[in-house]
Amino acid sequence: MIPEPSTLELTRCASCHLRFLPNDGPCPRCGSRDCTIYAASSMGRVLAATELQYPASGWHAPHPLALVELEDAVRVLAIEEGSLPEVGTLVRVRRDGALYRARAPTPE
């Protein structure tokens, strides 16, 4: 089994110090383009989770989505891979191309 990565790439703004999920544009708070990618913990807690009975095209129902707050206080919208988590559940988030996926961490 491939080990789950313990880090996730996030962005830090050099101007206002906001940490945010990588995007194609400038810092969402101050507009600065002086932003750098850094490796952060991939662990986070579920803020909210739902199963979409009518997901966007290309996905099958029920489609589980979770809003996760990472340890660096950055939020990510992730596709949940296990059973739908309760609010507050600890999950590990990994990047999968343009997507993010979350699941409860594998026991050591």
Q: Collect all residues with Cβ–Cβ distance below 8 Å to 32 and sequence separation of at least 6.
A: 13, 14, 15, 16, 26
Binding mask 4-33 for other proteins (x = CB under 8 A): ----------------xx-x----x-----
CB 61 within 8 A of CB 53: yes
Judged by CB under 8 A, which of 48, 71, 90, 105 binds other proteins? 48
What is the SS3 assignment for 7? strand
Q: Does residue 1 touch other proteins according to CB under 8 A? A: no
Structure tokens at 15: 């101007």
Judged by CB under 8 A, which of 8, 10, 40, 74 binds other proteins? 74
Task: Name which of 3 and 58 has its Cβ closer to other proteins.
Answer: 58
